[in-house]
Structure 1
Amino acid sequence: MKTSDIRLIQKKLFDTRLYTGAIDGKRGTQTNTAIEKALAQRSSSLPDDWQNWSDKRQAIAYLQLLCHENNIDAGKIDGFNGPTTASAVKQLSALLATGSIPRGFGDINPRRINPHNFPLENINSLNEFYGKPCEIPLVQVPCPWNLRLDWDLRTTTNKITIHKKLADSLAGILQNTYDTYGINGIKQFGLDRYGGSMNCRKKRGSVSAWSTHAWGISIDWFPSRNKLHWDSQKASLAHPDLDAWWALWEQEGWLSLGRTENRDWMHIQAAKRG
């Protein structure tokens, strides 16, 4: 079991005074005994043979019961950590941490239009449309609000360096963002936390393939809360209240890797994927 799941169990048991030990993520005798007591209080919701289950299986059954008690479907109460249970526990963790259950990726429907005929993300198409990486015409587009560098909040800018072909599109999106959310909304959702745009570099983990940042056609937003492998259950930019923000990008043809591939939610680019 994950250490984080055991901590969740210990915290809930502590809150109900069934457990008085440390919240350390270690499933020892004291934790196992408290789990058994908690299950005994819910025996009517369990199969008849639950007391014969292993300590680990009882712990998973307790998590499943906690999910159901919070209106999260964890499937059958059987003590097995299958995909349904794993997903439910993830939602439960988010609910306890933030007070709300994040939206599933299947409920996200990005607009897939391309009014500016942005090219496919391959080197030939990108070179033909934008020019060679690191050798492209750049402009600085003013941002209506101050951007703080996400890893050094003392460093600020009010301009985004971008490919010249994208200047008008980006300027319109930024102004519409400000008009839609205002400065309070922008700060609330971290849209002032900037991760950079133009960067003459290769893709992470590659020695040959260029990043789309090398063409000046990508922007990263709020990287610390939208890390590369985080999905919609964890990434802050997946919040439903930001659907209107994403619509501003998508109606211009920009592509969000988060909205289309459920990863790298920080990243948005003016290039399509086949």
Structure 2
Amino acid sequence: MITIDQLNKKYGIPNATGKGYLTTIKLPYKMRVAWEKKSVVAQIQCHELIADQLLAVFEDILLHYGYERIVELGIDLYGGCFNYRLMRGSTKTLSRHSWGIAIDLDPDRNLLKETARTARFARPEYKPMIDIFYKHGFISLGREKNYDWMHFEIGR
């Protein structure tokens, strides 16, 4: 995984508004806000250096699953990308979300402390989705560390 120094060098020093490094991507399919499922997300903000990769992830997911299956599996449940904040449990280390280089999906069924025993994204039907993230340079904390299965971040 990338160190904070490496993140700062490659992606810059993050700030509360994301000014100077965020861009908006239009999603190839609508997503639902995980905690307010009637709210639809058609575009998201992420770091400009990962925008093409993140867009390619969602395009490939759509090609692989089709929209109906994406919704059925909850892959369309958006938990956030850019969010300037500390890592959970930390008093000084910023979350990867502060740079806009991480995204959370279906957080309610892939809770932070869940392991492969209970997390939805650990099930076989989600393996292609996780493989697509890896294909485009992202890692899954679930696959790498067996917790926080909702979380995908750029790996380099």
TM-score by length of 1: 0.54
After TM superposition, give the deviation of residue 121 of structure 1 in Å: 2.6
> Equivalent residue for 2:138?
254
Matches of 1:231 and 1:220, distance apart in 2? 16
* Structure index of larger Rg: 1
- Give me the identity figure in percent: 34
> Is 1:228 the equivalent of 2:112?
yes
- Kindly report the root-mean-square deviation, in angstroms, between the aligned alpha carbons of the 2 structures: 1.2
Q: String of CA shifts for 1:151-185, please: whole Å, max 9, x gaps.
A: 11122111121100011111111111111100111
Q: Is the 8 A contact 1:231 1:262 kept in 2?
A: yes
| Length-normalised TM-score, structure 2 | 0.93
- Indicate the structure whose relative CO is greater, using CA pairs within 8 Å and at least 6 residues apart: 2
Q: Determine which of 86, 89, 92 is the counterpart of 1:208.
A: 92
Deviation of 1:240 (Å):
0.6
Q: C-alpha distance in 2, partners of 1:193/1:247?
A: 18
Q: Is the 8 A contact 2:30 2:41 kept in 1?
A: yes
Letter in 1 for 2:110: N
Q: How many residues align?
A: 153
Q: Which residue of 2 aligns with 1:244?
A: 128
SS at match of 2:66: helix
Structure 1 Cα separation of the partners of residues 117 and 98 of structure 2: 30
- Residues 1:147 and 2:31 are matched in the alignment: yes
SS at match of 1:165: coil
Query: Aligned equivalents of 1:198 and 1:222: distance in 2?
Result: 16
Residue 5 of structure 2 is aligned with which of 124, 140, 143? 124
- For 1:202, the aligned partner's letter is L
Name the aligned partner's letter for residue 142 of structure 2.
Answer: G
Instruction: Please give the secondary structure, in 2, of the residue aligned with 1:186.
Output: helix
Aligned equivalent of 1:183, options 46, 67, 76: 67
Structure 2: tracts of 5 or more residues without a match = none
User: What is the distance in 1 between the residues matched to 2:10 and 2:22?
Assistant: 14
> Deviation of residue 247 (structure 1)?
1.1
Which residue is 1:91 aligned to? none
Between Structure 1 and Structure 2, the one with more helix by share is 1
Partner SS for 2:52 = helix
Q: Kindly provide the amino acid, as one letter, of the partner of residue 13 in structure 2.
A: K
Q: Does the 8 Å CA contact 1:217/1:271 hold for their aligned counterparts?
A: no
Q: Quick one: which of 145, 149, 165 aligns to 2:49? A: 165
- The answer on whether the counterparts of 2:53 and 2:137 sit within 8 Å (CA) in structure 1 is no
Residues of 2 paired with 1:168 and 1:253: CA distance?
11
Give 3-state SS (helix, strand or coil) of 1:141's partner. Answer: strand
1:116-135: CA deviations, max 9, x gaps? xxxx4322100000000225
